[in-house]
């Protein structure tokens, strides 16, 4: 119950599509999504494999609460060995796609091998076909989705696909579903592209059963009674995650100009208020409204337009296409996109930032990694390591909105300097001889929280199994309240474990600040076989964390990779709550390893593995 007890295995090398029974013991031990997908990956993929080889697998995993009426129960994860990082990757998306896959009857979709020619996958309940995608290869996500629905004559089909960035192997290419939601981080789209898999279209007409329907209804009702009046929920609905920008800026934790600074002077032009200011040209604001994912009553997603008179929305694009498509409303700015293309690149041009965000959805790029990689390129340019010859004359300077736009366009297609930016910040800075300018951990770019001010987040960044990430632990509110390292190791460890369970359940991580995790435990307990409570969720999250760690260790990662970029540990923050401070995780890391039951090399002890039944 709650699980469909079924997975779909597709081998693109042989063309086989088979359903098989889900390993129910693993489901009980790892729930679903990130946890269960990781278990299958660890069991089936050699950790030393080249992420872009046919031997790597791409697993789309739903959770037990996916496609149920649990609030926000539409989540799914893409699990693989990340193209960007070489570490285990699990990227979580909302939208409608995951719920549709689950309603087609599958907990997991495991994609193996590599097709000789571009293909797409069409799943209609138990009818599964691998079809040629020659016609689609080279098309954007925005072209692929409507084309497939017409071709399949199935307007209700939900689609996950890659744009050009995924096809040409941009290391941080993502998989976009439902036009503007994404399995965003770690280069899962590059893995999909390496398999010559353009798209997955799915239509599911089966329901999802829960173990105790009455208890589940009660648990959902009780949860909703807490969720709906929550002030945090209301703020997410009205302002979206973008609201965070004023806070991080004021606090001095807004990464600016490749982390040279921690506050941005142009924030008022691009914050959550700025998107509500009517434009002179048409009297309309950039922000058109908000939107929600499957079963979500929060609706933090934004819908935006760019100025219809902007050159970005008129004339021809570099590929000769009509830019008029950018006049239409599409996925708007979230905090991370706004930070990455705004302060991190020193840009205060709202239309340029919105446009590059659109481009990420259209061509399947992770906006965090793209923005931070462009910021690294801008600093390399400022330092003379990248020259005008390298950029074909493009003035790749901090604050140059036109340069941001052009660099993003080149990266989407893997052309010119964009091919280098598309390597990601770490490889880019290595290539130009300045590795210290890469704001990355384990090869993955920084999110929008500077670790010099946010002490717990510093440790969270350093220890995240998928490379630098702000969602793998939840220390932020404590960090704002206490600019100290005291108690942060334990906080990071416990929230990493809880986040692992939430990430594997089928609901959205944002709910953890809107209702207590006990509510999730109650919903799981009613939906699934077995007794689920908060303690079991924590244990499950800890098991998942250690499983991921073991994969990374086997892939070659060591304690030395649990570190922060030199800039944040040597150059003090200028301004804000941590003025004059650097990030120093040394003591926290030692304490953290001890709390985790790992040796001081970061290797889980035998008794830890035994306790977690690993």
Binding interface with another protein (CB under 8 A):
231-232, 234-236, 238-239, 241, 243-244, 246-247, 249-252, 272, 300, 334-336, 470-471, 474, 476-477, 480-483, 509-510, 512-513, 575-577, 579
- Specify the residue, 272 or 410, whose C-beta has the smaller distance to another protein: 272
Burial of 171 (0-12, 13-18, 19+ CB in 10 A): buried
- Specify the residue, 120 or 335, whose C-beta has the smaller distance to another protein: 335
Dist. CA 55–CA 45, nearest whole Å = 7
**Shortest Å, Cβ 566 to another protein:** 25
Number of Cα atoms under 13 Å in the Cβ half of residue 508 = 28
- Specify the residue, 47 or 74, whose C-beta has the smaller distance to another protein: 74
Could you write out the DSSP letters of every residue in 51-64?
TTSTTS-EEEEE-T
Q: What angle do CA 281, 286, 290 make, to 5 degrees?
A: 145
**Shortest Å, Cβ 386 to another protein:** 31
Number of Cα atoms under 13 Å in the Cβ half of residue 229 = 4
**Shortest Å, Cβ 246 to another protein:** 4
Question: Length of the chain in residues, anyone?
Answer: 614
Dist. CA 278–CA 407, nearest whole Å = 28
**Shortest Å, Cβ 541 to another protein:** 16
**Shortest Å, Cβ 240 to another protein:** 9
**Shortest Å, Cβ 293 to another protein:** 12
Dist. CA 314–CA 326, nearest whole Å = 8
- Specify the residue, 239 or 543, whose C-beta has the smaller distance to another protein: 239
- Specify the residue, 32 or 301, whose C-beta has the smaller distance to another protein: 301
**Residue 589 phi, psi dihedral angles, 5° rounding:** -65, -40
For residues 435 and 427, the answer to whether their CB atoms sit within 8 Å is no
Q: Which of 454, 460, 417, 418 is nearest to 442 (CA)?
A: 460
**Shortest Å, Cβ 243 to another protein:** 6
- Specify the residue, 252 or 331, whose C-beta has the smaller distance to another protein: 252
- Specify the residue, 234 or 587, whose C-beta has the smaller distance to another protein: 234
Task: Work out the end-to-end distance of the chain between its first and last CA atoms, rounded to an integer number of angstroms.
Answer: 25
**3-state class (DSSP) for residue 557:** coil
Number of Cα atoms under 13 Å in the Cβ half of residue 371 = 35
- Specify the residue, 250 or 319, whose C-beta has the smaller distance to another protein: 250
């Amino acid at each position: 119950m709650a699980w469909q007890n079924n997975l779909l295995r597709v081998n693109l090398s042989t063309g086989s599509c088979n359903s098989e029974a889900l390993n129910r013991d693993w489901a009980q031990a790892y729930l679903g999504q990130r946890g269960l997908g990781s278990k299958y990956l660890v069991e089936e993929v050699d950790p030393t494999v080249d992420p872009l080889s046919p031997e790597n697998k791409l697993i789309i995993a739903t959770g037990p609460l996916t496609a149920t009426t649990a609030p926000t129960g539409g989540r799914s994860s893409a699990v693989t060995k990340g193209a960007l990082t070489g570490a285990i990757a699990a990227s979580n998306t909302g939208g409608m796609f995951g719920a549709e896959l689950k309603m087609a009857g599958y907990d997991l979709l495991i994609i193996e091998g590599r097709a000789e020619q571009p293909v797409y996958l069409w799943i209609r309940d138990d009818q599964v076909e691998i079809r040629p995608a020659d016609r689609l290869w080279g098309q954007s996500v925005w072209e692929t989705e409507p084309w497939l629905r017409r071709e399949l004559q199935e307007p209700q089909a939900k689609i996950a696909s890659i744009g050009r960035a995924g096809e040409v192997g941009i290391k941080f290419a993502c998989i976009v579903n439902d036009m503007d939601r994404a399995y965003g981080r770690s280069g899962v789209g590059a893995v999909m592209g390496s398999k010559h898999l353009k798209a997955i279209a799915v239509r599911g007409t089966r329901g999802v059963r829960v173990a105790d329907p009455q208890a589940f209804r009660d648990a959902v009702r009780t949860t909703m009674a807490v969720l709906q009046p929550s002030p945090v929920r209301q703020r997410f609905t009205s302002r979206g995650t973008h609201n965070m920008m004023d806070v991080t800026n004021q606090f001095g934790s807004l990464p600016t100009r490749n982390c040279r600074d921690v506050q941005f002077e142009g924030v008022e032009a691009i914050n959550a208020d700025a998107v509500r200011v009517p434009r002179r040209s048409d009297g309309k604001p950039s922000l058109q409204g908000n939107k929600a994912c499957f079963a979500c009553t929060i609706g933090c997603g934004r819908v935006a337009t760019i100025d219809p008179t902007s050159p970005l929305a008129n004339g021809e694009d570099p590929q000769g296409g009509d830019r008029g498509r950018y006049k239409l409303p599409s996925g708007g700015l979230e905090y991370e996109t706004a930070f990455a293309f705004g302060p991190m690149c020193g840009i205060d041009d709202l239309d340029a930032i919105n446009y590059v965000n659109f481009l990420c959805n259209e061509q399947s790029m992770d906006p965090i990694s793209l923005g931070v990689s462009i910021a690294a390129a801008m600093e390399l340019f400022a330092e003379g390591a990248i020259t005008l010859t390298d950029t074909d004359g493009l003035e790749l300077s901090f604050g140059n909105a036109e340069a941001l736009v052009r660099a993003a366009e080149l990266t989407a297609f893997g052309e010119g300097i964009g091919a280098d930016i598309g390597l990601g910040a770490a490889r880019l800075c290595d290539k130009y001889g300045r590795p210290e300018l890469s704001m990355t951990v384990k090869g993955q770019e920084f999110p929008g929280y500077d670790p010099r001010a946010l002490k717990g987040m510093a440790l969270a960044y350093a220890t995240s199994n998928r490379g630098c990430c702000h969602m793998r632990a939840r220390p932020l509110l404590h960090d704002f309240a206490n600019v100290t390292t005291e108690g942060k190791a334990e906080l990071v460890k416990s929230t990493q474990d809880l986040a692992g369970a939430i990430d594997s359940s089928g609901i959205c991580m944002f709910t953890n600040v809107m209702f207590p995790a006990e509510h999730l435990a109650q919903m799981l307990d009613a939906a699934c076989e077995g007794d689920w409570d908060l303690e079991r969720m924590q244990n499950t999250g800890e098991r998942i964390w250690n499983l991921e760690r073991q994969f990374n260790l086997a892939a070659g990662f060591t304690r030395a990779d649990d570190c922060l970029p030199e800039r944040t540990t040597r150059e003090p923050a200028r301004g804000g709550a941590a003025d004059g401070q650097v990030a120093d995780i040394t003591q926290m890391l030692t304490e953290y390893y001890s709390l985790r039951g790992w040796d001081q090399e970061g290797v889980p002890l035998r008794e830890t593995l035994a306790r977690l039944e690993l």
